[in-house]
Structure 1
Amino acid sequence: MTTLHKSALIQLILSMAIFGSVGFFSGLSGLSAVELVFIRCVCAMILIGCVWWFGGMYRTEIWKRREIVIVLLCGTTLLLNWVFLFKSFELTSVTVAISLYHLAPVIAMILGSVIFREKLTWLGLGAILLCFAGTLLIVGVGQSGGGFQLTGAIYAIIAAFFYAATMLLGKSIHTLSVYATTFIQMLLSMILLLPFVSWTAYTGLDEMNWTYSIITGVVHTGIVYLLFYNSVRYLPTRMISALVFVDPAVAILLDVLLTGFRPNVWQWGGILLIFAGMYYIVRPQTQK
């Protein structure tokens, strides 16, 4: 492995590990989903915009109307993905939310087989059934405070759906750089959120709340995006698919260690089934 690839590997692992802690920082921010996502958009837009502009990459952009439309659609699904994910963090444990959220590759595979007529193998179908069984175990068995937990779980699944839509739309973006794409998405998300932001929510924040909110925007959004997109171009798809699991692994570990959340035996079984299903979904796509 070359030095360049080692650097890319470290960047990808770091970006996934950092994002794994986003649920805990969101809880410490003191903000609800919409207000926190707005902060994320503003911070990420400024950071990525500065890198894009001062790095001179804006000079080489090729603007095509069709791609701009796709980027705008992609930005809308990304925004909805974030809002529902953070709403799920408010209503259920990070472990449950992040496990269900990572059903996105499964949903993308199902949608891809319908929209793009991509072949769905028996192995892929079996993996989908594993994930479905895991989902039922997580949200339907042994839950305390069932209605509260179930609503959060549903929000996480909706977030996964919009994450999958973002993945599929992103496949059609070839000309614009990731910096231009992300800048447009952040700007659009900020504009769309403006009518829904409760500005009084920011007046009650103390210094620590602001610190956690800004860290979520700058680090968990801006820096994670830069690390992720700077690394994936140098790594094989199989390695990327495997390392994406660092994110939920870190989130679950932190949830158990820091918040004292203890999944029951049914929930652990559901988590393992979902991870097994996701593994077998990425495996046949990446092996020769």
Structure 2
Amino acid sequence: MQASAIIKLTLSMAIFGSIGFFTIHTGVPAIELVFIRCICATLFLGFLWLMTGGHKTEVWDKKEIARTLLCGVFIVLNWVFLFKAFEEMSISIAISIYNLAPIFVLVLGALFLKEKMTVQALIATLTCFIGSIFIIGLHNFITLSEFMQSGFIWALLSALFYALTMLTSRTITNLSSYALTFIQTAVGIVMLLPFVDFSLFEGLTTTNWLYILGTGFIHTGFVYFLFFDSIRNLSTMLVSVLVFVDPVVAILLDMLLLDFMPSIMQTVGIVFIFGGIFYTIYIPKQAKKEV
């Protein structure tokens, strides 16, 4: 059972690691892409939900539904900001900043949930902050306008809303994974519909549509199915480590297929960020075991 779950989670993270590569070949901006993605995922996961009979055994709670709707808003904004970051900067840099989310979870937990901020968490936060400075290269931006157009703010916002998604989803315990995701993606359809420019879909090639549908059915529908079907059979520690497959694949694809080559400072920044995240996840747990 665990071996199967490990394979499913690893596969889901490896597939998701290619989303940046797919995104830049869709030919549509972030809002339009997320809108189609939400439609595809809602259809795919809704179909699985009905086929498995899960809709007949759902336990509906008004407070949980409200939190799920809020979580849906957060996850849609997370996707929009991540895709906007892909439009402005390399996939490797955007993904590295995006993966600051666990650090934001620590900070937000300390600020709003009164969770204790340990020395280890402070060290990790500072390390990741320094890494983000290195990776974006603040010395390269003469004006605030140049900095704002670099994509850094979009990537940072995507990480922030990913963290808010994780924090909110912690409070949802009764809804099944299918119901949870179905509601979230349905929220995305309603939320983005007023902002979609449908004229942008005119003139797209067959290749564009294949990449668009790929981000919807594969990177959202299929990946969510694998992800939620696996994490319930794995420890938090194992899940935390396996999610690193996502950024590793993203960075490798960026370098191999898109000819991205980070500078020395950016490489140091990437190492700092992932070092800080790994330290957050792994070292404190090891310390607890030794006590």
Name the TM-score class by shorter chain. over 0.9
Match of 2:77 among 57, 76, 80: 80
- Structure 1: gaps (5+ residues): none
Distance in 1 of aligned mates of 2:95 and 2:149: 14
- Mapped pair 1:47 → 2:7: no
For residue 285 of structure 1, report the CA deviation from its aligned partner: 5.3
Once the two structures are superposed, the pairs formed by residues 83-162 of structure 1 within 5 Å of their partners are 83-141=80-138, 143=140, 147=146, 151-162=150-161
Once the two structures are superposed, the pairs formed by residues 231-270 of structure 1 within 5 Å of their partners are 231-270=230-269
**In the alignment, is the contact (CA less than 8 A) between 1:39 and 1:213 conserved in 2?**
yes
**In the alignment, is the contact (CA less than 8 A) between 1:143 and 1:149 conserved in 2?**
no
SS at match of 1:9: helix
**In the alignment, is the contact (CA less than 8 A) between 2:120 and 2:284 conserved in 1?**
no
After superposition, the CA RMSD in angstroms is 1.5
SS at match of 1:220: helix
- Inter-CA distance 157–278: structure 2 relative to 1 (3 Å threshold): same
Distance in 2 of aligned mates of 1:173 and 1:221: 20
Residue 140 of structure 1 aligns to which amino acid in structure 2?
G
Distance in 2 of aligned mates of 1:158 and 1:145: 22
Percent of matched pairs sharing the same residue: 48
SS at match of 2:24: helix
Q: Could you report, residue by residue, the CA deviation over 1:90-141 in whole angstroms, capped at 9, with x for unpaired residues?
A: 0000011000000000001100112221111111110110000000001125
- Structure 2: gaps (5+ residues): none
Distance in 1 of aligned mates of 2:136 and 2:234: 35
State how many pairs are aligned.
Answer: 285
- Mapped pair 1:59 → 2:56: yes
Distance in 2 of aligned mates of 1:12 and 1:143: 38
**In the alignment, is the contact (CA less than 8 A) between 1:142 and 1:266 conserved in 2?**
no
**In the alignment, is the contact (CA less than 8 A) between 1:92 and 1:148 conserved in 2?**
no
- Mapped pair 1:70 → 2:62: no
Q: Could you report, residue by residue, the CA deviation over 1:194-216 in whole angstroms, capped at 9, with x for unpaired residues?
A: 01001011112111110110011
Please name the residue that 2:28 is paired with.
Answer: 31
Distance in 2 of aligned mates of 1:13 and 1:166: 21
Distance in 1 of aligned mates of 2:140 and 2:229: 40
Spell out structure 1 runs of 4+ moving beyond 6 A: none
Distance in 1 of aligned mates of 2:73 and 2:80: 11
**TM-score with structure 2 setting the length:** 0.95
Q: Could you report, residue by residue, the CA deviation over 1:248-273 in whole angstroms, capped at 9, with x for unpaired residues?
A: 01100110111111110000000000
For residue 230 of structure 1, report the CA deviation from its aligned partner: 0.6
For residue 286 of structure 1, report the CA deviation from its aligned partner: 3.8
**In the alignment, is the contact (CA less than 8 A) between 2:23 and 2:83 conserved in 1?**
yes
Distance in 2 of aligned mates of 1:120 and 1:150: 33
Distance in 2 of aligned mates of 1:219 and 1:89: 19
- Inter-CA distance 61–33: structure 2 relative to 1 (3 Å threshold): same
**In the alignment, is the contact (CA less than 8 A) between 1:91 and 1:148 conserved in 2?**
no
SS at match of 1:28: coil
SS at match of 2:27: coil
Distance in 2 of aligned mates of 1:155 and 1:82: 10
Distance in 2 of aligned mates of 1:265 and 1:142: 14
Residue 50 of structure 1 aligns to which amino acid in structure 2?
F
- Inter-CA distance 41–130: structure 2 relative to 1 (3 Å threshold): same
